[in-house]
Structure 1
Amino acid sequence: MTRHAQSERLRLSDELDRLGPDEPTLCGGWQTRDLAAHLVIRERRPDLLIGGAIPFLSDRVRRRERAITHGDYAALVDTFRRGAPAWNPMSQPKVDELANTIEFFVHHEDVRRAQPGWEPRDLSTAMQGALWTALRRSARLMFRKSATGIVLIAEGHGRYAAKLPDHHGTVVLRGTPAELVLYAYGRKDVARVELGGDADDIAALQEAELGLG
């Protein structure tokens, strides 16, 4: 079994190490240390994720999150590099692949594309195929707030109707699976995607909030 999520985990870890704790990312004001902390908390501290939604625990949760974020950065990245602990289902390769291929790819690009002079990576056909498969599973959720219909075309991989039109017509998004993933997950400004359709429909899509937000 090819471990695309594991490969992205290691590449993202290397990039976080290379850049250090204080570089920008594409994640809403986060620096690299914030992103590293998010990745570790997601896999190792689900209590903090749950507690953050409970009002009387929120202050305590924020203090613990800050302690993780502003602790030893190299140790934080190394903890992420080692992977999910055995009690977490994401430690199992099949679950890791399903849960983390897009997660780690997008966050890797959040780091890379926030730096000057970035260019898209030359990803393998297998990785592009894995991203395309994962995108088709999540596209309806990612585009749910768009008022336009959505058709995704990944040349060499296929096409997918992700959403029927609502108040507007349909917009066709064309690009590699990697770039379509980034667009669908809200990284519109850096995703190299060609949009086709009526100008008003394209404008409506560009204004829509995409992704999990």
Structure 2
Amino acid sequence: MTVAQRERAALVASLREAGPDAPTLCEGWTARDLAAHLVVRERRLDAAAGILLPFLAGYTERVQNQVATSTEWDDLVDKIASGPPLYSPMKPLDAVANVAEMFIHDEDIRRARPDWTPRPLDDSTVSALRGPVAMMSRLTLRKAPGRVVLRTPQGDTLATAGRRGNAGQLIVTGEPGELLLFVAGRDAAQVTFDGPPDLVDQVKKSRGGL
């Protein structure tokens, strides 16, 4: 079983435990909305592009709402559990493209609960989450007003992003999974900051959430 498949199984377990009306870290989304998003991403090729392309976002939102309201909860979760279908571009890319997606959305459900605790990750999962930090930070931190350095507690720099200039530098330190959640716009990420407090706030506000 790949890391992506294990993270998918963890996400499915969290969805089943939480139920369709549970809150998530995705503003305005319940667990049902999040599940519909994943189904559209992997199974509705006509609408999936709007997840990344703003000019198609309205159509994607309409399709997602239709999927959420017209599909039984158990059927939604079963579709996620079965993985991308053969016709989906995600099928051959699952082991690479879905590690971050499944991890982030599992934490979106888990960390929306007031009593959540960190989930222990094995070495292979931690290693698999390192690469997406660099890739995603280029998208979400490109408008950051200063230089942002993403670093592990062991001192490994996973990525640098943002704009060079007079705003200064912000060092964000955390385990790879926590850094990934931070660059994806989740304030529940367990990271620490070394830099001007006003720059911390500006960087948080400038993130493009995923």
State the TM-score, normalizing by the size of structure 1. 0.87
Letter in 2 for 1:134: P
Aligned twin of 2:209: 211
1:155 to 131, 153, 156: 153
What CA RMSD, in Å, does the superposition of the two structures yield over aligned residues?
2.4
In the TM superposition, 1:60-209 aligns within 5 A as 62=62, 64-70=63-69, 71-92=71-92, 95-156=93-154, 158-163=156-161, 164-188=163-187, 190-209=188-207
Identity level (%): 37
| Residues 141 and 211 in structure 1, CA contact (< 8 A), matched pair in contact too | no
**Residues 194/166 of structure 1: CA separation in 2 closer, same or farther (3 Å cut):** same
Structure 1 residues 209, 130: CA separation in 2 closer, same or farther (over 3 Å shift)?
Answer: same
Please list every run of 5 or more consecutive structure 1 residues that lacks an aligned counterpart in the other structure: none
| Alpha-carbon distance between aligned partners in 1 of 2:155 and 2:88, rounded to the nearest angstrom | 32
Shift of 1:124: 0.9
Deviation for aligned residue 1:195: 0.3
User: CA offsets, 1:33-66, max 9 Å, x none?
Assistant: 11111101110012133589569x949x82x543
Q: How far apart in 2 are the matches of 1:191 and 1:67?
A: 31
Deviation at 1:121, TM superposition (A): 0.7
Matched positions, count = 205
* Structure 1 position 210, deviation (Å): 3.4
Ranges of 4+ aligned residues in structure 1 off by more than 4 Å: 50-55
Unaligned runs of 5+ in 2: none
1:6 aligns with 2:5: yes
Q: In terms of Rg, which structure is larger?
A: 1
| Structure-2-length-normalised TM-score | 0.88
